[in-house]
Amino acid sequence: MYTYEYTGPTQEINSMPKGCKTCSSCGFCTGPRAYICPKCNNPFIFKIKNKGKKNKVIRDFDWRELVRGDLIKVNGGPYFMNGDGEYVPMGYRGRFSVQGVDDNGILAWSTEKDGGYCHIYMGPAYHDKNTGLRKTSHTLLKIKRKEEV
């Protein structure tokens, strides 16, 4: 499998809290970190049963064996290198829910807020001299929910 090392600046885009918490008493939707309902002051009970449950991450796997519903974390992928040698990432980032695979990539839904349906390139590397785009496969992590292990 082709890999490359990205030595440029890294960005962490998964640090934003996701979703919201719905009050069991009045149905008001508030931020995920709220501990009391801002509308009716109903205290939220935190689900502690999930505590300690950590998702397992698998690094070495064959992306062609991914099946619908698998969760993956994606990085790397195609990029531009402009005239100044500046690295411009063009690939996908974040978590994706696999729908299927084809000859040179993975079809998946992004689990990010504004994410859509994507084709995550996993084919051979090539340099398109017309556009300057350097296509290269994404780096993947497979996320295995602890319940499944």
Residues that bind Zn ion (CB under 5 A): 23, 25-26, 28, 37, 39-40, 42
Q: How far apart are CA 19 and CA 5, in angstroms?
A: 33
DSSP 3-state assignment of 140? strand
- From the list 83, 134, 77, 22, the residue with the least C-alpha distance to 30 is 22
Q: How far apart are CA 105 and CA 110, in angstroms?
A: 15
To the nearest whole angstrom, how small is the minimum distance from the Cβ of residue 113 to Zn ion? Answer: 24
Instruction: Name which of 1 and 29 has its Cβ closer to Zn ion.
Output: 29
To the nearest whole angstrom, how small is the minimum distance from the Cβ of residue 23 to Zn ion? Answer: 3
Instruction: Name which of 20 and 57 has its Cβ closer to Zn ion.
Output: 20
Instruction: Name which of 39 and 68 has its Cβ closer to Zn ion.
Output: 39
Instruction: Name which of 41 and 104 has its Cβ closer to Zn ion.
Output: 41
CA distances from 73 to 22, 29, 52, 54, 130 (A): 27, 28, 21, 15, 30
